[in-house]
Amino acid sequence: MVYKMYELTVEPRFGDIDGLRHINNTVLAVWFEQARNPVFKLFTPNFSTTHEDWKLIMAHTDFDFVGQMKLGQYINIKTYVSRVGNKSFTLYHEAWQDGKLCVKGSAVVVHFDFIEQKTVPIPDDIREKLMEHFIDLDENKN
């Protein structure tokens, strides 16, 4: 099955490498966050950073390193939706270099009203857009 995803291509910078000449592990959190921007824009199309307009809060992130990445080759970040609940959803990220999966991870994002300081249901129209990028991780286990 072919899954629709968001994609971001990153060209690593010299400052992204560590003493072993690998992409530093701290860089992935930044790249995965950047890859979430199209999803954030579903909730806040003008991409405002004021708390009155912003509608999401991060609840959890994780990632696993399954291969090495190096300077000199582009990194392709793929982002899918792996779960949609009533008030939260989970994004699944992969980082690929030279045709190989190098990092995979997830982020749990909560639909949140910052003025009322409470979680709120995800609107149906946004839920439908999220589901366009759904991937069944159980179906894709190797």
- Locate the domains of the chain by residue range: 6-131
pLDDT value, residue 4: 79
Give the predicted TM-score (pTM) of the model. Answer: 0.91
* Tokens (6 digits) for 107: 């982020």
**Residue 126: closest CA among 80, 84, 93, 82:** 84
In sequence order, what are the residues at sequence separation of 6 or more whose Cβ sits closer than 8 angstroms to the Cβ of residue 112?
A: 55, 56, 57, 118, 119, 120
Decide which of 3.10.129.10, 3.40.50.300, 3.40.50.2300, 3.50.50.60 is the CATH code for 6-131: 3.10.129.10
Residues 78-107 have pLDDT tens digits of: 999 999 999 999 999 999 999 999 999 999
pLDDT value, residue 140: 62
* Tokens (6 digits) for 4: 């629709």
Q: Mean pLDDT across the stretch 116-125?
A: 96
- Per-residue pLDDT at 42 exceeds 70: yes
